[in-house]
Chains A and B, each alone.
Chain A
Amino acid sequence: MTSVLFYILAFLTLVFGFLVIANPFSRSPVTSAMFLVLAIISLAGLFVLLHAYFLAAVQVLVYAGAVMVLFLFVIMLLDLRVEERRRIKILAAVGGLASAGIILGIFLHHLLVAPLGEGETPSVAGGTYALGRILFTQYVLPFEIVSVLLLVAMVGVVLLSKRDLK
């Protein structure tokens, strides 16, 4: 049952991810953003299969919620023309895709030769309790630093959005 779910979710994630970058029917950024939402939600499903329940919830809330709303707002703000009238340089595209394929080959080769072994029997579950416990004891300093980072990002965005940017 779990393996069937894994194959379905992995297939959906990869198909939606592919549709983000190359949709044969539309080149509008809005379509890409919508397929990115779907890819992120299927990835959250994979997180659930890995018993990372808290991260699956955060993935849907933060990525599919907050981040994608931000993307859609900016797309709406920029009012972009459709990309299709731009010609794609065939040679550059082929070269880029070939280098991406070579990197995939390197990944898969290293996966094949890596001594992954059987591993331990998975028993941890990333529920809110377990994750919160480790986050507020062992990782409390990085947690505080991240809050400062969010503040800095917020100040930076406000500064960048000022109209008379020097």
Chain B
Amino acid sequence: MTIGLEHYLVVSAMLFVVGLAGVIVRRNLLVIYMSLELMLNAANLALVAFSRFTNNLDGQVFVFFVITVAAAEVAVGLALIVAVYRRRHTAYVEDLRTLKL
């Protein structure tokens, strides 16, 4: 049995949902951030699979840009987490409820 596009898409969907569940369930800001990275990687896998099975390199170029933007995003996000920690001395989402009514 050969491995087709749908196999990769199923893996990508499952990885995305694992990341989503992590974002919902976990309370630690850093672990939530890691789950976000998992979701980005799942989308990358789908893009690379589409690129392979349509004989078009554009998808891979797009993944290259996604990885670059994700690196920049991680740097800014972690700087924000450190700034929040300096002010509030916590990294748990349930302690950060200034905006809650």
Which residues in A have some Cβ–Cβ distance to B below 8 Å? 2-3, 6, 10, 13-14, 17-18, 20-22, 29, 32-33, 36, 39-40, 43, 46-47, 49-52, 54-55, 58-59, 62-63, 66-67, 70-71, 74-75, 77-78, 80, 83, 86, 88, 93, 96-97, 99-101, 103-104, 107-108, 111, 116, 119-120, 122-124, 126, 130-131, 134-135, 139, 142, 146, 149-150, 152-154, 156-157, 160-161, 163, 165
Contact = CB atoms under 8 A, between A and B. Distances in A.
B3 to A, nearest CB: 5
Given A50-B51, A104-B13, A107-B16, 4 more contacts: A29-B30, A88-B27, A131-B64, A142-B65
Given A21-B19, A29-B28, A146-B68, A153 B76 contact: yes
B9 A71 contact: no
A146 B64 CA distance: 11
A54 B56 CA distance: 15
B78 A100 contact: no
A14 B16 CA distance: 10
